[in-house]
Structure 1
Amino acid sequence: MESYFECLKKIAPEIVEIIEKRYEILKNISYYQPIGRRILAEKLNLTERIVRNEIDILRNLGLINVTESGTILTNEGEDILEKLSNIVYDIKGLEDVKARVKEILKAKDVYVVPGDADLNPYVLKEIGILASKVILTLIEDVKIIAVTGGQTVKEVVDSFPTCSFKDILVVPARGGIGQEVEKQANTLAANLAKKINGSYKLLHLPDTMDEEVYNLLIKKEEVQEVLNDINNADMLVFGIGNAIEMAKRRKLSQDMIEKLKKVGAIGEIFGYYFDKAGRIVYSTTTIGIKLEKIKNIKYMIGVAGGSHKAEAILSLGEIKNNTVFVIDEGIAKRIISLEK
């Protein structure tokens, strides 16, 4: 039997289009408020005339207010937006999309949020909110959580509610990478520990180093202690990177980047670079979690946003089978299209 929304699409497709458009408008206002009409039009890739008309309608419905600083949601608007999220999920048929992606990846589980982070950055926030809820359903029997760095994992930590799990230790899965301290694994580990009222340990080391330095540091007692905790984690929350993007972030040489392209590197996690067939084609000398240890981790939570990450996820080989993925609609639909 066809769903209510499938019937609605056939008999009144314009209604579905209006619902989806107004959902996007309310979502963008929620994320960027207060926001001016011109900037809102740019975010939505709509003309100012269309946005002006929609703002007038939403204001008359009592869902938004237009202030001197810009447009904001009313309390009723926030309430409607929350309810609308479930409706849009059903309209887009994301339950079927989720099931298909889980089948393709042979993943432990898959969760999908509407939208594409490549087009709308607020979608990363939605991934963070959903991932934090997923983690909360699994956290009861967890003793050690390891987290990687990156914007998407940061959204997970930022979205985490204040709660009390005093017996949980949070550790960074790896050393630091790049200049943005707020996105580094150490920072995110400490912030998550504070959110859950747990404890944390830090790894005050760079993500990548030469082998001689690595061999010296790995012998230090304080480093070994943290590494032992990392490799005994019950849960790992990690982002998934595009191989070439991550190589540039790690400031690999141009020659090495060209080599990665030549060997077909597509995806990256924990300093390991994978090709289309799921083979490791390169790995950096890093201090942190090792690939051979992750098979013992009970809960692997992989988070990613933006359709350009689809190939990277597909490249992860058998790691996919033990992972719970929280991704966006853009990634999910591209994974399906790539498998056709």
Structure 2
Amino acid sequence: MDDFIEILKKITPEVVEILERRYDVLKNVKYHQPIGRRMLSEKLKLSERIVRNEVDILRSLGLLKITDNGTILTNEGEELLEKLSNMVYDIKGLESLRQTVKDILGARDVFIVPGDADTNPYVLKELGNVASKVILPLLQNVRIIAVTGGQTVKEVVDNFPVCSFKDILVVPARGGIGQEVEKQANTLAANLAKKLGGRYKLLHLPDTMDEEIYNLIAKKEEVQDVLNDINNADMLIFGIGNAIEMAKRRKFSQEMINKLCQVGAIGEIFGYYFDREGNIVYSTTTVGIKLEKIKNIKYMIGVAGGAHKAEAVLSLNGIKHSSIFVIDEGIARRIVDIKR
């Protein structure tokens, strides 16, 4: 199969290009159906003429159907897309890339999703889908799951199948951040618990606060109860942030953002900011999981999409060896480029 793919790339590279384009069309339809051609054109960043032509071809093959509300996948289209996903994975050489990135990171394991979330929004949904499949077989050995907030972790929860793990407790790994309630750790913990048929506890506190106030609140019995569960989690599902993006989300002052730039902050997890060498260059008084506690966690699942987060992933020296990363092709290829 590998030899055939290499021959195909050399003899008919245009065939590979067409295959990858039609894969992108089918994937976008899958995650946004029913979708109009103009919206599909915007998501693919292709002209409406090209999109119309591709949709017409895929419809004639019985893979797409045009309805009054927009384009949808047919059952045959769903089945073919599953097979096509495996083919695209092979064509792009992602198994070899996966092993290279795993070696570079020294990670417990790495899973790669085709595409780049920076240019293909549906890739985030694919990350959620793959991450949920990675996590599911591990749950037999898990009592407590902690989850952070953010869009990528939300995709993991949204893609999780309904199942029965009544004994599992899900807790937020940290307090709330930002205004989007649907992406906050509390919301995601509750939603994941419902998918699992398990239990959940919430942490009704902001992510960061004055240290003196934190010390007072942390002594409360109900807060101590949740913090104890967080720090005894068997699994942590976390997103990986670009340092400056996260500082802006936390509404840091411009002066503070400039300081983070000056000290070389690249990546962020749990309120800790790392430079290229993996040194902690700044940390907030964050409510929730502490970096020194994660060494006891059985399964660390880091999920990230978008090539611009490659350096953030590389900066996590303290946790890379114990983590399972689910990342996209954009991050993976950028990591290899940086380490060349």
Q: Is 1:298 matched up with 2:321?
A: no
Alpha-carbon distance in 2 for matches of 1:248, 1:45: 28
CA contact (8 A) 2:235 2:299 kept: yes
Deviations 1:204-237 (A, max 9, x none): 0000101111111111111111111110111000
Secondary structure of 1:25's match? helix
Correspondence for 1:276: 276
1:315 matched to 2:315? The reply is yes
Kindly provide the CA deviation profile for residues 251-307 of structure 1, in whole angstroms up to 9, marking residues without a partner as x.
Answer: 111111111010000000000000001000000011100000001111000000111
Structure-2 residue corresponding to 1:62: 62
SS at match of 1:276: coil
Aligned partners of 2:293 and 2:51: how far apart in 1?
Answer: 51
Give the conservation status (yes or no) of the 8 Å contact 2:117–2:123: yes
CA shift for structure 1 position 2: 5.1
Please report how far the alpha carbon of residue 318 of structure 1 lies from its aligned counterpart in structure 2 after TM superposition.
2.4
TM-score, with normalisation over the residues of structure 1? 0.98
What is the distance in 2 between the residues matched to 1:20 and 1:10? Answer: 15
Identity of aligned residues (%): 76
TM-score between both structures, scaled by the size of structure 2:
0.98
Distance 1:134 1:111 in 2: 9
**What is residue 97 of structure 1 aligned with on the other side?**
97
Residue of structure 1 in register with 2:239 after alignment: 239
**1:158 aligned partner, one-letter code:** D
Residues of 1 paired with 2:177 and 2:39: CA distance?
32
Distance 1:2 1:120 in 2: 26
The code of the aligned residue for 1:172 comes to: P
Residue by residue over 1:146-178, the C-alpha shift from the partner in whole angstroms, topping out at 9 and shown as x without a partner, is 000000001001111111111111110000001
Aligned residues: 340
Aligned residue number for residue 114 of structure 2: 114
- Residue number in structure 2 paired with 1:221: 221
Answer yes or no: is the 8 Å Cα contact 2:37–2:51 preserved in 1: yes
Q: Pairwise CA RMSD of aligned residues?
A: 1.1
Measured against aligned partners, the alpha-carbon deviations of 1:304-333 in whole angstroms (never above 9, x if no partner) come to 011111010001112111100000000000
Alignment correspondent of 2:199: 199
Letter in 1 for 2:41: A
Whether contact under 8 Å (2:267, 2:313) holds in the other structure is yes
In structure 2, what is the Cα distance between the partners aligned to 1:24 and 1:319?
A: 33
What amino acid sits opposite 1:108 in the alignment? R
CA distance in 2, matches of 1:29, 1:291: 40
- Distance in 1, Cα, partners of 2:38 & 2:169: 46
**1:178 alignment counterpart:** 178
CA–CA distance in 2 between the matches of 1:188 and 1:48? 37
Unaligned ranges ≥5, structure 2:
none
* Counterparts of residues 77-96 of structure 1 (less than 5 Å): 77-96=77-96
User: Over residues 103-123 of structure 1, what are the superposed CA-to-partner deviations in whole Å (9 max), with x where a residue is unaligned?
Assistant: 000000000000111111111
In the alignment, residue 250 of structure 2 is paired with which amino acid?
R
SS at match of 2:319: helix
Paired letter, 1:53: N
Moved over 3 A (4+): none
Unmatched 5+ stretches in structure 1: none
User: AA paired with 1:124?
Assistant: L
Partner of 2:128: 128
Separation in 2, partners of 1:224, 1:49: 59
Matching residue's letter, 1:201: K
Letter in 2 for 1:193: A
SS in 2 for 1:308: helix
The CA distance in 2 between the partners of 1:26 and 1:149, in whole Å, is: 29
